[in-house]
């Protein structure tokens, strides 16, 4: 879950091509699955459960806007983890973004349902989504956006080869001053780069 008790600063991260991808196995009985029709409801449930959205309707609207226009890509790029009962409990998207007319590999919306956090699923899905992106797009640079509120996830991204970048890209362009402030907040929360 997001920790909204600390100051919010947007952080961009990059995993440079050639960086080794760690292997974090899933707990027994859990498995990776790709998107199938109707899974947008599970995506919305998971994203809402971690406070990314106020409600599932808002999350579904975002999914419909950002991903459904590329439905064929969802079948190979939207990753979930299912628990032993078949319930989807984590998600990550091996997507792309256009930055300055350049298509870039991009990790979007990595989330683990609160009841499963702390069980290694965040590390497993983060590493798996990087593997998925390199399988689809090749071993290129991969970017993601996070925030200080998600410092626990930022630590996981770092363990998967991502490092902060002050490059102004996508969504929110953070000034150099804000970037330094964000790194200081992350360090105070125990994130080490």
| 128-183 pLDDT, tens digit each | 999 999 999 999 999 998 999 989 999 999 999 999 988 766 555 567 788 889 89
> pLDDT of 57-111, one tens digit each?
999 999 999 999 999 999 999 999 999 999 999 999 999 988 778 888 999 999 9
Kindly state the tokens that stand for 185.
Answer: 């907040």
Of 56, 57, 45, 94, the closest CA to residue 73 belongs to 94
- Domains defined for the chain, CATH in brackets: 10-188 (3.40.630.30)
CA 40 to each of CA 81, 167, 190: distance values in angstroms, whole numbers, following the listed order: 14, 32, 34
Report pTM.
Answer: 0.92
Of 90, 89, 40, the closest CA to residue 65 belongs to 40
What pLDDT, on a 0 to 100 scale, did the predictor assign at position 1? 73
Band of the pLDDT at 26, cuts 50, 70, 90? very high
What pLDDT, on a 0 to 100 scale, did the predictor assign at position 193? 82
């Amino acid at each position: 879950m997001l920790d909204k008790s600390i100051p919010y600063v947007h952080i961009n991260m990059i995993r440079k091509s050639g960086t080794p991808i760690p292997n974090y196995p899933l707990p027994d009985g859990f498995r990776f699955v790709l998107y199938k029709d109707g899974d947008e409801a599970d995506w919305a449930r998971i994203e809402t459960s971690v406070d990314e959205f106020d409600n599932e309707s808002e999350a579904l609207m975002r999914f419909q806007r950002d991903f459904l226009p590329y439905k064929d890509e969802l079948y190979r790029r939207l990753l979930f983890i299912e628990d032993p009962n078949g319930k989807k409990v984590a998600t990550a998207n091996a997507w792309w973004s256009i930055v300055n007319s350049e298509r870039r590999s991009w990790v979007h919306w990595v989330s683990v349902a609160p009841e499963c956090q702390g069980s290694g699923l965040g590390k497993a899905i983060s590493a798996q989504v990087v593997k998925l992106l390199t399988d689809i797009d090749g071993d290129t640079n991969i970017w993601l956006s996070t925030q200080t509120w998600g410092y626990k996830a930022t630590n996981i991204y770092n363990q998967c080869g991502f490092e902060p970048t002050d490059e102004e890209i996508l969504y929110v362009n953070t000034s150099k001053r804000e970037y330094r402030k964000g790194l200081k907040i992350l360090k105070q929360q125990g994130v080490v780069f």
